[in-house]
């Protein structure tokens, strides 16, 4: 009788354990479903936060270029660097005299122009970098310069036959307020002349989704949407 009672207790304990195990699996499944739902709902926020971080880093790049431009003009009687190509390259060497980065490299804390070619990270948009290989960055042109839009002349001059030299900031300021005149901006197919070399490699829409970061000639940077 005692033995039967003990067996009954054991059987009930086993049944209870199985029931408890089944309940735990249900709990686990429900928990995983809740976590998946939370992750799904939070993903757009994470992506948006990542985009904002890259956009802020891009603005920082442009500010640094703005400081370097100001330093250059201060030491050159107000004259802007140039003539340079309007699609600004990130890489440069000793012979890259038609690239803005050639004039500003040392002011950005980068090596002086020499051999071999090096890249100035301030000329690479953070929103475009993850999509490229290291080799592709050598031909990257993530920013475009003002080629005369909003001004009566090309601020940085024009390269090639019939080209012209750059102008002084005071010349630009005599016709347009410098705080209203863009100097440099994110490049994409919509805001760059399609006849320029390198246009085909540009993104079809703004790198930051619905806006472009713009550096103005007075040194301030803003996002135009």
Residue 202: which residues within 8 A CB-CB, separation 6 or more?
A: 141, 187, 188, 189, 192
Cα–Cα distance, 80 to 123 (Å, whole number): 18
Cα–Cα distance, 62 to 209 (Å, whole number): 18
Please list, residue by residue across 202-214, b when 16 or more beta carbons sit within 10 angstroms of its beta carbon and e when fewer do: bbeebbbeeebbb
Residue 198, Ramachandran bin (φ over 0: left; ψ between -120 and 50: alpha; else beta) = left
Q: Pick the residue with more confidence: 79 or 201?
A: 79
Indicate whether 82 pLDDT > 90: yes
- pLDDT grade for 46, boundaries at 50, 70 and 90: very low
Q: What is the reported pLDDT for 3?
A: 47
pLDDT in tens, 95-107: 999 999 999 999 9
Q: Return the domain boundaries, the chain.
A: 56-224
Q: What is the reported pLDDT for 128?
A: 85
Q: State the first-to-last Cα distance of the chain, in angstroms, to the nearest integer.
A: 86
């Amino acid at each position: 009788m005692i033995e039967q009672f003990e067996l009954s207790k054991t059987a009930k304990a086993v049944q209870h354990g199985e029931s408890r195990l089944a309940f735990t699996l249900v709990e686990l499944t429900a928990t995983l479903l809740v976590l998946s739902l939370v992750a799904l709902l939070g993903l757009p926020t994470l992506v948006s936060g990542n985009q904002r971080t890259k956009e802020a880093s891009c603005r920082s790049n442009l500010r640094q270029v703005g400081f370097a431009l100001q330093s250059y003009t201060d030491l050159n009687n107000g004259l802007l660097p140039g003539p340079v190509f309007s699609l600004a390259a990130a890489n440069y060497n000793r012979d890259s005299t038609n690239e803005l980065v050639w004039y500003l490299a040392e002011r950005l804390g980068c090596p002086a122009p020499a051999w071999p070619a090096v890249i100035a990270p301030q000329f690479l948009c953070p929103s475009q970098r993850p999509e490229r290989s290291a080799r592709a960055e050598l031909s990257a042109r993530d920013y475009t310069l003002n080629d005369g839009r909003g001004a009566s002349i090309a601020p940085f001059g024009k390269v090639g036959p019939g080209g012209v030299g750059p102008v002084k900031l005071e010349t630009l300021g005599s016709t347009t307020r410098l705080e209203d005149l863009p100097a440099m901006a994110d490049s994409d197919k919509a805001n760059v002349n399609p006849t320029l070399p390198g246009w085909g490699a540009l993104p079809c829409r703004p790198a930051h989704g619905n806006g472009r970061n713009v550096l103005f000639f007075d040194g301030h940077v803003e996002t135009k949407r």
